[in-house]
Structure 1
């Protein structure tokens, strides 16, 4: 159970509630133990009456008293059992809540490389299904475990006190049960791990299928996807059946062994009663009740073992991600204001996952308030510059400086809160259009949202929808066209009103007339803001204060539109080609 040690901090946090729950569990079980002894006393009273040792009125009076005690004990036991569930199960929900938050917070700290290496379905499964398995350990397993221990601790000594030899015969099956449980538990642990791994695979497959449903339909891949899912379903069935076959041994074995114990009680107890070793047949009835009271605790041992093994397997998977150290760390605690001066000094950057060197010894300087455009072919390193600016990655060599300070020595939250980024692939949440724009500034008024939507030239499109700004977008903004998604994303960045704008080819899906209108609006908005524009179009770059042309991760040209258009090279060739296309 070494992986489950991670949960100790939560047990410490809720120790008082857990202690109260355990105490209530013990009290509930103690009250439940009153019944067998008073059943014994009731039988002895009947025996005394039959032997003429007590009058009928005295027998009735005693039996009525014993019945009231049994009923009272049962009611109190039920009440404390209810309180036990309310206490311990509630704690398990609190721990589930805390653990989900811990995992989710850690997910947000991890860098982009982590998300490139791990599938979304697997991440989702670990924060949902795996944590649910762990919750069963911190709740039901503890509750029933304490219940079982209390019953064993109370009943077995009582049995030995009242009839030692009969108790010894009755409990013979228990060591056999312990050995069987130990052997089966090892198998369960291995098979539980396989089941959880399969669930991650299934979650990933279904998530990707639903996200890519448009492509699947366009290429009529439904039969192939169904066939793959059928294969996964068969694998899942076989994996789950392997686990179920082992689990299926538990309850039959428990019932068999308890049945054997009952036979021992009746046979051995009967012989001892006949021979006079035990005085009353009530002892046999009491022992039968004790054995049957042990039936559920003994049977639950197998279930508890299964829960613990599943929780161990799930917590191990959770810990694998919790042990992942984020490569991008916030090294500075105090707030560090940003004005917008940017400098790249001999920056080289290589992606870990592909080993592709995206930038090679790149150097440039951007003053606060300047607009700089980056042009180049696909894969030339344009977007990488913006990623390094937002410190989504750290450089392999060289330095990125903001206001003369190395970017690693800036407070990460201060840096990113001063940046308004519009990615190449605009991401919108499954929420209203208003809330998607408000994501840039949660305190913004509706009038401010409308104002930035107009600047992003998307207001008229929104007004055309039936519910306007209250229109709920589909997953990843599928309700909108590509150009509309880009413009909503631009509006979101404008609403943030940051010191630095990062526009990553964010007008690629917009027609030239709309692009011109948006660029004019952006020029007015960003006149005092540092603006970096990545584009494949000269029209997006020609009004910039400086244009930097990249090729294979190196700067090949740098200057204004007029300067670069007067010399032979990539920029002039691109400008002439796009001008002729426009004409």
Structure 2
């Protein structure tokens, strides 16, 4: 818990001030039974009515003081817990943002949402309420026990000794509860993941009429979650009654033994009444020990989950003496680059020299390593051998943030935020002017579509671009990439949903763009790559062909085969036209 207490230490005043109020509150509460003792012994039995007003005013002042201090104590402790909750969520989110692609390849969204939401809230409840109550009850127990021994050590010893077994019960309860909440936390993450995936993919579920299957799947997981919570309830029901029983026995002992001591004259009735007031200040902390143990068990399980994320270090980080302000021109070199992922060799000895401002096209079968190759440029993954140079400088010598700001990428999976079209495009450059945005939209052939919308750039896009066609989403993503005017542009199969005419116009716009950046185009259509300065054909992680469109056709290799496959209908049509002319 050391890391959590570091957050608490940020707000020393919000810990110190309410703690002072808490101690003052407890001390005043300890005075009450003594005043009641004097009220019984001296006023009611001793008939000294001159003390009645003094004792009554004292009790009233103590009650009002405790109410005022209690308010500030509760409020300030809650403020402290809320601030820690805010800081922990922010730091956890920031840390998640710093982690590499590989971490998210093996982590689902629902689990991360559970950690940021439910688990952080468990810690907040513990800090703002549970931990404070635990400390307060511990102080109450100590002060009240001292007062009980002061009043009569025999009666105090008899009442408190019966509560010793409760400590052993609480220790056993805490161990079982931590194990149970650990399982509940994992199951909640799975449940959240299933719900999130089904809600996000509800159209696919309905399209395949799989509602019943998904409901049954969720029902099964929910039943498992129910069983875990029932198991937790059984643990509480097993250990709480003994705690209640033992604390009630102490009341019976106090009444029986206390009454006997009054009859013998060892204590007065006022002492017994005061003893009753103090014994409840011992009983309530002990009774709440089970509930607090339950809360602390939740906190411990959540803390382990959160720390597992916070202790995960990003594998790809910037060097201490990295270049931060280098103006990248866009020259890129791959020198014998190999890349391995999960013990599988994805890329094998790739060597390429790409001049600044040129356009390189990557083609190949699915899984040949095209996307992996461009992902290495921004260090989303690191090479396992060889090196990548940008402007003749190893990319590992650049500050990662600076390097990535010099790269605009349109990934295969087109993602749009639930925001306006304007803000989605401005994501590529936060301070982009409307003129820059319109220029980018014009280049990506999406400006006319936006202007036809009722709210134009202020039109709200649904989750992940809901309501837009695949081609519209791709063109908006390209506009987002272009608005940054980065020296390196990567289009990862980003025109696949466009018709041939729109694709031709878009690529023509990019070629004629006055700021001609180094452009990577990953595509499966010859029409998208034929005008590139260099076309690279990949297969099984290796470059098997490279050259211009004309050079690759003359090789009559893989590229030529695809060309023939894609244009065979056109060639057939041309042959038929020629035959008809000959007949005529």
Give the TM-score taking structure 1 as reference length.
0.94
Query: Deviation digits for residues 290-333 of structure 1, max 9, x if unmatched?
Result: 12233332222112211212111111111222222222111144
1:330 alignment partner in structure 2? 318
Deviation, 1:251, is 4.8
Distance in 2 separating the partners of 1:554 and 1:255: 72
| Alignment-derived partner of residue 531 in structure 1 | 519
Structure 1 residues 527 and 147, CA gap change in structure 2 (3 angstroms): closer
- 1:319 corresponds to: 307
Q: How does 1:234-273 map to 2 (within 5 A)?
A: 234-249=223-238, 251-273=240-262
1:567 to 555, 571, 574: 555
Structure 2 distance, partners of 1:434, 1:78, is 53
1:340 to 319, 324, 330: 330
Is residue 9 from structure 1 mapped to residue 21 from structure 2 by the alignment? Answer: no
CA distance in 2, matches of 1:478, 1:559: 40
Pairwise mapping of residues 107-122 of structure 1 onto structure 2 (< 5 A)? 107-122=96-111
Q: Is the 8 A contact 1:505 1:534 kept in 2?
A: yes
TM-superposed deviation, 1:446 = 2.5
Q: How many residues align?
A: 569
Say which SS state the counterpart of residue 248 (structure 1) adopts. Answer: helix
- Asked if the contact 1:432/1:471 (under 8 Å) is kept, the reply is yes
Deviations 1:465-515 (A, max 9, x none): 333222222221122111111000000011111011011110000000111
Structure 2 counterpart of 1:434, from 422, 444, 456: 422
Aligned 8 A contact 1:457 1:487 in 2: yes
Alignment match, 2:529 = 541
Within-5 A mapping of 1:205-244:
205-244=194-233
Counterpart position of 1:28? 25
Within 5 Å, which residues of 2 pair with 1:95-174?
95-174=84-163
Cα shift at 1:64: 2.1
**In the alignment, which residue of structure 1 is the partner of 2:451?**
463
Partner residue in 1 for 2:363: 375
Query: How far off is 1:412 after superposition?
Result: 0.7
Question: What residue is the counterpart of 1:500 in the other structure?
Answer: 488
CA distance in structure 2 between the partners assigned to 1:386 and 1:183 by the alignment: 55
Q: RMSD of the TM alignment (CA)?
A: 1.7
Partner in structure 1 of residue 55 of structure 2? 66
Change (3 A) 1:388 1:14: same
Residue 389 of structure 2 is aligned to residue 363 of structure 1: no
Aligned partner of residue 171 in structure 1, secondary structure: helix
Which blocks of at least 5 consecutive residues in structure 2 are unaligned? 574-584
SS at match of 1:33: helix
What does 1:451-490 correspond to in 2, within 5 Å?
451-490=439-478
| Mapped pair 1:45 → 2:45 | no
Tell me if structure 1 keeps the 8 A contact 2:323–2:397: no
